[in-house]
A and B are shown apart, each in its own frame.
Chain A
């Protein structure tokens, strides 16, 4: 049997295929007008890397937003999937921060894998993936250059605002004023890491809790490092690509 988890995000569809043995398949597709087709693209990719031809039985679980169910998929909330995934890694109480394109969710998962608390940015998307994307465009750099450039920063510039419009204008002004690109970028990285640190300290004021950072932002090492510098707390490394955490949790449900 192959267990398939699908996570429909605001920008990407992530699929994870667990073949019950040693091989896990991953698939990623950019969301487009035909969401059903984009899902199939991600799933096919995941099967290909999990060698689907050896399996006849398939189970599905879907999570995320923006998809009208056409097939009989099991549905679970994003929070349930994340809790399931992190609980499979660590049986202590932990905080999971899912930092995606437009939302940042924080969940506290108990020792038994139950969600004790959850919160989400429901008014403002400051510091999420789209913010980083727009600021990178203003800096004329690519997302995958962030880690290298961040290391070159000597004196991070302090960005005043998390609002895309205000921050974009501030970044452009600083670029034109001749401020170093790595220093401006480091300012953006620290702003995002600061948002995550606030969520962490709200729950663990003594900085002793366990934290997992998942979602697209979890892939950016510079943000992890900045967070660790701000809170002196290490972020737990998830075994898989953090962008697939929710889809992996969904696949665990697909029994």
Chain B
């Protein structure tokens, strides 16, 4: 049997098909969001089905999550992205107890219990200074592509400081440092450090239990991940699947669980 999880976030839409007979991921797809959540979900689901070589009739249950979960173009269950990231990471690796998820607009820290269910969480609610969209804006200011930012930042030695209070202050600091002729790698390194220190404030509230993983689009920025590991004095466990897919994987896991309940 096949279950599909769809995660429409603020910047990207993700979908995953899980084969519940062997608990394996059959296909997945990540794409930038379109003009509205309905179109995004429809397209990402269609592209994932194409990759799997299946039609929507072969999918037994769909669950959607993320900002756009209420506008999914197919009949589906809905689940919050916090629960989905929790169960997604736990399903991928059972030893996981803490998840740091940094997405387009959110940075969340989620604690899960021995069943993968959320026991505590904290997220940014007023300020998006430590999030993916801010990294995107800052890399634009630096004249770098977002996917290059992490690699460039790793070359920096950490000699500079960028404010971590507000995205606009960060941007001004970046422009000021560029004007004073500082190296791009050093500025990129300072940006990663600022984002990591911002996320640390949320981590402090929830606390850390091992194993700890990083998910969401920003987990692909190796410099932010490295700085977070350093300031939290932890090492992140590597997941067997793309960490950006955890929300969609979690949604697919919830779909398969509700399918099991219905069958019983």
- Measured CB to CB, the residues of A under 8 A from B are 10, 31-33, 35, 66, 102, 122-126, 128, 130-131, 161, 163-166, 168-169, 173, 176-177
Contact = CB atoms under 8 A, between A and B. Distances in A.
Contact of B105 (A10, A32, A128, A166): A166
17 contacts: A10-B172, A31-B179, A33-B178, A66-B176, A102-B172, A130-B171, A163-B126, A163-B128, A164-B128, A164-B168, A165-B128, A165-B134, A166-B105, A166-B128, A169-B104, A176-B36, A177-B36
Contacts, number: 53
A122 B172 CA distance: 13
B133 interface: yes
Contact of A125 (B35, B131, B169, B176): B169
A124 B172 contact: no
B166 interface: yes
B10 interface: yes
Sort chain B's interface into a size bin.
Answer: 20 to 34
A126 B131 CA distance: 16
A166 B11 CA distance: 12
**Which of A31, A123, A163, A176 has the most B CB atoms < 10 Å from its CB?**
A163
Dominant secondary structure at the A interface: loop
B166 A125 contact: yes
Given A102-B172, A163-B126, A124 B166 contact: yes
Contact of B165 (A32, A124, A166, A169): A124
Contacts of B134: 165
Contacts of A10: 172, 175
B88 interface: no
Contacts of B176: 66
A131 B166 CA distance: 12
**Which of A10, A165, A168, A169 has the most B CB atoms < 10 Å from its CB?**
A165
A10 B169 CA distance: 10
Contacts of B178: 33
Interface string B161-188: 0000111110110011011010000000
Contacts of A168: 133
Nearest to B171: A130
Contacts of B168: 102, 125, 128, 130-131, 164
A176 to B, nearest CB: 4
A7 to B, nearest CB: 16
Contacts of B35: 176
Contacts of B166: 123-126
Given A124-B165, A130-B171, 10 more contacts: A33-B179, A123-B165, A123-B166, A124-B127, A128-B168, A163-B127, A163-B167, A165-B131, A165-B133, A166-B128
